[in-house]
Amino acid sequence: MVSEKKKTILLVEDQLIIAMSEKISLEKYGYEVITAPNGEEAVNIFYENDNIDLVLMDIDLGAGINGPEAAKTILGIRDIPVVFLSSHIEPEVVTQTERITSYGYVVKNSGITILDASIKMAFKLYEANKKVSESEKRYRGLLDNLEAGIVVHAPDTSIIINNPRASELLELNEDQMRGKLAIDPHWKFLWEDNTPLKLEEYPVNRILKGKRPIKDQTFGVYRPIAKDVVWLSVNGFPVLNQNGEIVEILISFTNITEKKIATDRIKYLLSEKELILKEVHHRIKNNISSTESLLNLQLDSTNNSETIHALQDAKSRVRSMRVLYDKLLISDDYDEISAKNYLESLIDAILDLFSGKMNITLEKSMADIIFTTKTLFPLGLILNELLTNIMKYAFKDRNTGLIKISLFKNGDSIQLLVQDDGCGLPKDFDLNKSNKFGLMLVTMLTKQLNGSFQMVSENGTKSTVTFRV
């Protein structure tokens, strides 16, 4: 077993007999002892000897520098535990040692037991302080090299610790930061929309009031020197004691100014895009309305039944597009629209074309499914063709009729059902051989949706369009 290395003590004592006696006593307790008769020699010995572990310093050393002065010089060379040894207990003598970093004051003739205990306690205190100092250095090194600004507030909101990054971001030097209160009226915080925060809404004040952390909150801080605003992502939490009282508030923040400017720019461009899209849709809608008006004029100027049917079909298809653009103009999203809102409006518009000719009972069951315009446009044209076909052919020689229309989701598929209680399909009807333009259009548009189209007689005619999205 390796024996513990003996501690070396520098004993500074001007009384040689006392020095010899104390040296012998300390060596009996396992210490190596080097003696010095005065302050000057003590400094020289210490300067040349790196093995000294503790200085036992008399205060009154006769001529030359006294004990406290010698201790101060020694501590300037190297940090080491110093214990003062004196026969004086007067306050004015003890006060001389208070300005020196020391680890004890022992009265002479207290006995070797007390002296040994004082020396051991000095070593323990020194090691404890050394660990604290090293921890503080690591802590400070970490703080000083963080990209985030760090500020520690006392319970009165005054700043007690901050790192250089915090000073840099807030454009305040060390003196300006230290002691500055979170309730200082010179602080100017902003919300993301540039409206000012009330004093009680400031991060530290919110934590102080609620005793709860804040996470990833964005604030702007006005910097009077640069006359600009730095945008910060702020986190903070309270440090509580055993009684639940706040002892410190730690705030960290990172600079997100460039990100904030870029985000605001994107929002602005999106807003511009929305305005442009709205204007484009508005103009397209006007053009469609003009086309619809021209078809109406053409309808009014002809008596040919075949021409009238063709123009009505064209008008119905144009109206289907106009209804879609009506929905686009009032939608917050120009690419996705509620199928329920669009298709129900389209149904009303189609039936309006045939108003006055018959009394139709309509049953609708439309699921509120959101589609893109890429899906909704062909789906609207399909419904337009099927419903127009019913109104033209299903209720011949009748002035009443029932139409059922439903849109629903079935697993991962969407189904559109259009059914009437009319005369049904001809017995020789074959959808694949039909040369009707409307049905050919429905078949083509269904393929565009990667779906299937069926048309059968079932107490009238039942049309089913199935597709996936």
pLDDT, one tens digit per residue, over 381-417 is 899 889 888 988 888 888 889 999 999 998 899 999 9
Does a structural domain hold residue 211? yes
Residues 186, 271, single domain; the answer is no
Does a structural domain hold residue 316? yes
Domain boundary among 81, 113, 143: 143
Does a structural domain hold residue 115? yes
**Cα 40 to Cα 11, 15, 61, 314, distances in angstroms:** 13, 15, 10, 115
Residues 137, 154, single domain; the answer is no
Closest C-alpha to 54, from 95, 109, 106, 17: 106
Q: What is the pLDDT of residue 88?
A: 66
- Hey, what are 92's tokens? 């004015």
Domain boundary among 143, 170, 188: 143
Question: Domain containing 195: what range?
Answer: 149-255
Does a structural domain hold residue 323? yes
Residues 191, 97, single domain; the answer is no
Does a structural domain hold residue 225? yes
Q: What is the pLDDT of residue 226?
A: 80
- Note the pTM of the prediction, 2 decimals: 0.47
Residues 18, 133, single domain; the answer is yes
Q: What is the pLDDT of residue 396?
A: 84
Residues 24, 138, single domain; the answer is yes
Residues 167, 233, single domain; the answer is yes
Residues 349, 443, single domain; the answer is yes
Under 8 Å between Cβ of 29 and 17: no
Position 72, amino acid: K
For the chain, the domain total comes to 4
Residues 132, 177, single domain; the answer is no
Does a structural domain hold residue 220? yes
Question: Any residues with CB less than 8 A from the CB of 327 and at least 6 apart, and which?
Answer: 337, 338, 341, 342, 345
CATH number at residue 86: 3.40.50.2300
Each residue of 85-130: pLDDT tens digit? Answer: 877 666 766 676 667 777 777 888 788 888 889 888 988 988 888 8
Under 8 Å between Cβ of 157 and 204: yes
Residues 103, 33, single domain; the answer is yes
Q: What is the pLDDT of residue 1?
A: 44
CA 350 vs. chain centroid, Å, equals 50
Does a structural domain hold residue 313? yes
Instruction: Give the residues of the chain that fall short of pLDDT 70.
Output: 1-4, 88-90, 92-94, 96-98, 139-144, 273-285, 288, 316-317, 319-335, 355-357
Residues 298, 360, single domain; the answer is no
Domain boundary among 212, 236, 255: 255
CATH number at residue 180: 3.30.450.20
CATH number at residue 377: 3.30.565.10
Residues 288, 402, single domain; the answer is no
- Hey, what are 98's tokens? 């208070």
Residues 372, 467, single domain; the answer is yes
Does a structural domain hold residue 1? no
